[in-house]
């Protein structure tokens, strides 16, 4: 007889959040993670207030999160001449009930992993276990084929399978065998960290330049005794798409001098980008990619979440946040509809269309669209921003984006908990 449990393919931020959610409400589960060891990989990441709310509801309080990162205070866009285009407060300072949170991605991942092991035990996660295909049973359950790094295989069965296995998802590939290849629009990102003095506020997220040629800079730690913070930077450049890209360039370590010259002109009285880059030990290069949306994230007792469902450009800092929200919505659906395909359909109905629209919005620049408008009107250089883009137009643009991304202040502050406090799962008969 099939165990009544949820099989989670992938132990990234989304998969671990789902596991913690299922443990919270009393649903049996097993995480299958392809890595042979959990490691704190990645660079900076921003978690929006709508997702921080969900982490708080999982017991990951502000005090806990503050041990691995910092609350954001400001979001600002700056033109090519170094002058402010738009700025707004973020998180608690903006009136949210929850902060916006910036941290090293790997530190957040390891916090989720340690918390899960502490709460659910080491047997809740199986490492060196890559899900490569599934088979739906007539009875409604699902058989899952799992491959080890040594080539051996085994099979496990459950009530539901959730594909949280990233942009290269095997679960998605089987669900949508005719999906187009990964989409690349021509943008290359170089990412890294460096210790610097904070810019603008103690914790400002800064976008600088144009949509085709820009820097993103924000701190991911509190100041040390010398006043410096660990600063995450992203250097982006759109190139001729005909030059192509290759998978061996994924998160490839490269010397700073191989790309810093593209940003030589980014020197201002408050920031010297080339100097900042050259203080970094190295950079990591990867193409800015996403996937075309699909019509549905479900196939009976199988569902996609996170990057497997909606890999998106990082322009809006929505990827990890949405994966966290996905996990909580799945948990809420299981609470009301049991370990059933109907629960997954409810999740799909609630999020698939809306988030697919967000994927395309981020592909077309997301909140950085203001820099596109600026570039079209004045080439990114101006004396008086009000004469180029009025404050009313800037505010309206950002308000529409925050609504689309699910973190409009009033709506989020007034929204009920995704999962009610102390809610527990009762298996439907």
Mean pLDDT for the stretch of residues 120-124: 97
Between the alpha carbon of residue 52 and those of residues 17, 23, 60, 66, 88, the distances in Å are 12, 18, 9, 12, 19
84 forms beta bridges with 78
Strand, helix or coil for residue 224: coil
Q: What is the pLDDT of residue 249?
A: 58
Cβ–Cβ under 8 Å, residues 185 and 288: yes
Q: What is the DSSP string of 236-256?
A: EEE--GGG---GGGTTEEE-G
Average pLDDT taken over every residue of the chain: 92
Give me the pLDDT at residue 103, please.
Answer: 92
CA angle 132, 106, 162 (to 5 degrees): 30
Could you read off the pLDDT of 169-226 as tens digits, one per residue? 999 999 999 999 999 888 899 999 999 999 998 899 999 988 789 999 999 999 999 9
Read off the pLDDT of residues 31-80 as tens digits, 9 standing for 90 and up. 999 999 999 888 889 999 999 999 999 999 999 999 999 999 999 999 98
Q: What is the spatial distance between Cα 279 and Cα 98, in angstroms, rounded to a whole number?
A: 34
pLDDT confidence bin for 1, thresholds 50/70/90? very low
Is residue 244 pLDDT above 70, yes or no? Answer: no
Q: Is the model's pLDDT at 251 over the cut of 80?
A: no
Q: What is the mean pLDDT of residues 232-246?
A: 78
Task: For residue 194, report the phi and psi dihedrals to the nearest 5 degrees.
Answer: -160, 150
Task: Return the percent helix, strand and coil in the chain, to nearest 5.
Answer: 35, 25, 35
Compute the average pLDDT of residues 125-149: 96
**pLDDT at residue 414 is higher than 50:** yes
pLDDT at residue 429 is higher than 80 = no
pLDDT for res 211: 76
pLDDT at 255 over 60: yes
pLDDT value of residue 427:
73
Nearest to 36 by CA among 6, 8, 7, 11: 11
Q: Per-residue pLDDT for 91 more than 70?
A: yes
Q: How many percent of the chain have pLDDT more than 90?
A: 79
Residue 22 has pLDDT above 70, yes or no: yes
* C-alpha to C-alpha distance for 98 and 72, rounded to whole angstroms: 11
pLDDT value, residue 2: 46
Which single residue is written with the structure tokens 């049973």?
137
Residue 404 predicted with pLDDT over 90: no
Sign of dihedral through CA atoms 62, 65, 70, 76?
Answer: negative
Which CATH number applies to 6-41+105-181+292-364?
A: 3.50.50.60
- Residue 368: pLDDT band (50, 70, 90) is confident
pLDDT of residue 215: 93
Euclidean distance between CA atoms 297 and 274, whole angstroms: 43
In 3D space, the residue among 399, 390, 400 whose CA is nearest the CA of residue 85 turns out to be: 390
CA distance 259 to 295: 38
- Average pLDDT estimate for 153-160: 96
The pLDDT score that the predictor gives to residue 179 is 93
Residue 355 token pair: 């988030």
- Whether residue 317 is predicted with pLDDT greater than 80 in this model: the reply is no
pLDDT of residue 281: 85
Q: What is the side-by-side order of every strand in the sheet holding 69-71?
A: 44-47, 101-104, 69-71
Per-residue DSSP letter, 260: G
Collapse the DSSP code of 371 into the 3-class scheme (helix H, G, I; strand E, B; otherwise coil) and give the result. Answer: helix
Mean pLDDT, range 240-263, rounded to an integer = 77
With 60 as the cut, is the pLDDT of residue 247 above it? Answer: no
Say if residue 384's pLDDT is above 80: yes
Q: How far is Cα 88 from Cα 74, in angstroms, rounded to an integer?
A: 6
Rounded to an integer, what distance in angstroms lies between the CA atom of residue 105 and that of residue 114? 14
Residues 6+ apart with CB under 8 A from 138: none
pLDDT value of position 344: 98
Domain ranges (residues) in the chain: 6-41+105-181+292-364
In the predicted structure, residue 134 carries a pLDDT above the cut 90: yes
CA distances from 296 to 126, 172, 176, 252, 387 (A): 28, 10, 9, 33, 44
């Amino acid at each position: 007889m099939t165990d009544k449990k949820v099989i989670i393919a992938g132990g990234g931020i989304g998969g671990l959040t789902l596991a913690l959610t299922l443990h919270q409400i009393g649903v049996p589960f097993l995480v299958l993670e392809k890595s042979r060891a959990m490691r704190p990989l990645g660079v900076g990441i921003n978690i929006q207030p709508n997702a921080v709310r969900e982490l708080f509801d999982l017991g990951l309080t502000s005090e806990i999160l503050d041990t691995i990162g910092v609350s954001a205070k400001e979001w600002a866009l700056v033109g090519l001449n170094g002058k402010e285009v738009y700025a707004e407060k973020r998180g608690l300072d903006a009136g949210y009930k929850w902060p916006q949170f910036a941290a090293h991605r790997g530190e957040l991942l390891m916090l989720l992993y340690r918390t899960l092991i502490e709460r659910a035990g080491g047997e809740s996660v199986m490492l060196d276990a890559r899900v490569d295909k599934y088979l739906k049973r007539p009875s409604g359950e699902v058989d899952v084929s799992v491959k080890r790094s040594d080539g051996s295989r085994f099979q496990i069965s459950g009530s539901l399978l959730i594909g949280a296995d990233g942009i290269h998802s095997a679960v998605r590939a089987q669900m949508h065998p005719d999906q187009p290849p990964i989409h690349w629009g021509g943008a290359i990102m170089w990412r890294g960290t460096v210790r610097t003095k904070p810019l603008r506020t103690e914790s400002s997220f800064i976008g600088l330049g144009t949509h085709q040629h820009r820097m993103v800079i924000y701190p991911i730690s509190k100041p040390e005794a010398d006043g410096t913070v660990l600063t995450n930077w992203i250097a982006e450049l759109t190139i001729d798409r005909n030059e192509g890209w290759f998978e061996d360039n994924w998160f490839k370590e490269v010397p700073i001098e191989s790309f810093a010259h593209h940003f030589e002109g980014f020197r201002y009285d408050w920031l010297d980008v080339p100097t900042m880059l050259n203080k970094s030990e190295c950079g990591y290069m990867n193409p800015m990619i996403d996937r075309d949306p699909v019509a549905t994230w479900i196939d009976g007792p199988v569902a996609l979440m996170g990057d497997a469902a909606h890999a998106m450009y990082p322009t809006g800092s929505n990827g990890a946040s949405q994966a966290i929200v996905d996990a909580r919505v799945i948990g809420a659906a299981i609470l009301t509809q049991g370990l059933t395909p109907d629960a997954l359909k409810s999740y799909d109905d609630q999020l698939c269309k809306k988030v697919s629209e967000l994927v395309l919005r981020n592909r077309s620049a997301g909140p950085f669209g203001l820099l596109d408008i600026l570039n079209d009107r004045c080439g990114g250089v101006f004396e008086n921003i009000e004469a180029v883009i009025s404050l009313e137009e800037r505010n309206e643009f950002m308000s529409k984006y925050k609504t689309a991304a699910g973190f409009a202040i009033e709506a989020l502050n007034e929204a009920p908990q995704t999962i009610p406090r102390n809610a527990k799962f009762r298996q439907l008969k």
